[in-house]
Amino acid sequence: MPTPTATRRITVTSPAFPDGGTIPRRYTCDGADVSPPLALSGVPADATGLVVIAEDRDAPHGTFTHWLMWGVYPRLAELPAGEVPAGATVGRNDFRKNAYGGPCPPRGDRPHRYVFTVYAADRRLGLTPSATADDVRRVLAGHTLALGSLSGRYGR
């Protein structure tokens, strides 16, 4: 399957944890289970929308999607904790819910890596809320202006 690529970079940070740091409990299944705040910079001026995908790269059965959102207004400098921006659509995560599902690795596993990737698209995606991360990546292929990511770890 084609994957989105881009030469330009978006800087993705969070006031809640540093890149590669521990994701606070509040943003996990052991806490309030709300999405962490994200700060964005370097989004191209010609972007028509942003896409956010959060995945567990260390899940036992392969990459597990925790959050999928598209149609985010490209001029937003931040995504507040636990909020879906006006006009954005939340797709189906691997918990089979149209919502953010926080890190929730099996107890006793070493801490898992969670990657929050933001893509700047050059067109509207035209997807339904039942779309999965694979569907979004398929539509983004060839239509990604820039991308960036933030990673965090969480163990139980």
Give the per-residue pLDDT at 60.
92
Q: What's phi and psi for 71, nearest 5 deg?
A: 75, 20
Judge whether 1 lies within some domain: no
How many distinct structural domains can be found in the chain? 1
Tell me the pLDDT tens digit for each residue of 74-128: 999 999 999 999 999 999 999 999 999 999 999 999 999 999 999 999 999 999 9
Give the per-residue pLDDT at 4.
74
Mean pLDDT score across all residues of the chain: 95
Judge whether 65 lies within some domain: yes
Q: How confident is the model at residue 7 (pLDDT cuts 50, 70, 90)?
A: confident
DSSP string for 43-101: --TT--EEEEEEEETT-TTS-EEEEEEEEE-TT-SEE-TT---TT-EE---TTSSSS--
Q: Which domain holds residue 94?
A: 8-154
Cβ–Cβ under 8 Å, residues 4 and 141: yes
The enclosing domain of 150 has a CATH number of 3.90.280.10
Judge whether 139 lies within some domain: yes
Judge whether 3 lies within some domain: no
